[in-house]
Amino acid sequence: MKKQGLTAPAGFLASGVQAGIKDLGSKDLGMISCPQGAKAAGVFTTNAVVSAAVEVCRENLACAKCFGVVVNSGVANACTGKKGLSDARSMCREAGKALKADQGAMLVASTGVIGRKLPMDKVRSGIRTCADLLSDSQEAARDFAEAILTTDTVSKQHTETVRISGKEVTIAGAIKGAGMIAPNMATTLCFLTADAAISKRLLQKALREAAGESLNKLTVDGHQSTNDTALLLSSGKAGNAPISRPKSPDYKKFYETLLSVCRNLTRQMALDAEGATKIFKVEVSGAVSKKDARKAARAVADYDLVKCAINGSDPNWGRIICAIGSCGAKVNVDNITCRLGRLTVFRSGRPVKFDKKRAEEIVSQKEHTILIDLGAGSGSDFCWGCDLSKKYVEINADYHT
């Protein structure tokens, strides 16, 4: 079996340790290293309030080569003012010192409770320990994936390979996220490594577009975080002919593999969403535009009454139609059709007779698809959602500052 995780692509090391940032005693600080440097790309939250790590990471992405990423969980370092910015830069400086790299060539991310300041003595010590433990092993990649978790119940990784210009290129990812998730980039903390030779411009283009068709297609609770970050580093060590043209077959192969990795990670997040027992996919077709299709799909996936019905295995198509009608997309009710899986429950603006037991069986599955045809055009899009359970309320009632 081929190696899995962020260390699978050539040129990358990783580690994850318990630095004492969290009260629970679990791993809470991780590091990725590319000793010979990597091109880097990033996409971030569009929330107007952002963490210090997001601000510093945006600045440092301008570097020609990135030599590593340092990440902490447990404390978001958001709404922490000048001290927070100083601490985020200190994390880059300490990591750079340990890796013999300039602090401006280091990237940083944080996740956890908003408003708390980082325990910097523990963070600095943890960074040094992480640097000493860096390894290209699969176990080291797993340690990193565990160190970035907050309310997640399991770590999430995925790896794929593709042949580009006769060479095997590997793309791997690790992701965390279970709540405060809504389409609007990023969605969570997501870290991706690759060993393709590719221009920095195309690396950024590939990540932005792949995130738009994966991470941005999941809504758990309609809220984006202050810390959302997705980073992609590529070492160029696969030996493929450099990818420099966006319309080339090589770029298409790279992009499609990256998208596949991102979609797999997104699905894993959906399955581990806070309190979730089921996930569903809303596919909208027949819209006047892709924008309207996206709006309708997200409206259904976000609608609390739909999410509650799914939690109760109730095939309540009325709530689906209600969500569509209130989302602002152009609709002609007389043309709308809705299906649960392959079962039609609403056609041409009217309910139809259907097997209720079969409908309940579909909605009670761990995963199912809601298909909606607006009958207004050729635009289409989709969104993933999850049910809303009592457990979600319990988790977020207890998660406080």
| Annotated binding-site residue numbers for substrate | 150, 176, 187, 274, 396, 401
End-to-end CA distance of the chain: 43
What whole-number distance in Å separates Cα of residue 362 and Cα of residue 301? 16
Detail the residues annotated as belonging to a binding site: 150, 176, 187, 274, 396, 401
Please state at what angle helix 249-271 crosses helix 200-212, rounded to 10 degrees.
Answer: 40
**Annotated catalytic residue, options 7, 159, 170, 187:** 187
- For 256, the token pair is 């499609």
Q: Residue 205: what are its φ and ψ, rounded to 5°?
A: -60, -45
What whole-number distance in Å separates Cα of residue 158 and Cα of residue 261? 6
Q: What is the DSSP string of 158-204?
A: EEEEEEETTEEEEEEEEEE-SSS--SSS--SEEEEEE---B-HHHHH
Give the type of residue at 357: K
What is the helix, strand, coil percentage profile of the chain, to 5? 35, 25, 35
Give the type of residue at 144: F
Please state at what angle helix 304-311 crosses helix 290-302, rounded to 10 degrees.
Answer: 50
DSSP for residue 153: S
Structural contact between residues 75 and 112, judged by C-beta atoms closer than 8 angstroms: yes
Beta bridge partners of 282: 370, 383
- For 350, the token pair is 């009217």
187 flagged as catalytic = yes
What whole-number distance in Å separates Cα of residue 306 and Cα of residue 386? 10
What whole-number distance in Å separates Cα of residue 309 and Cα of residue 363? 9
Pairing of strands 189-194, 229-234: parallel
Give the type of residue at 34: C
Placement of tokens 């081929």 in the chain: 2
Active site residues: 187
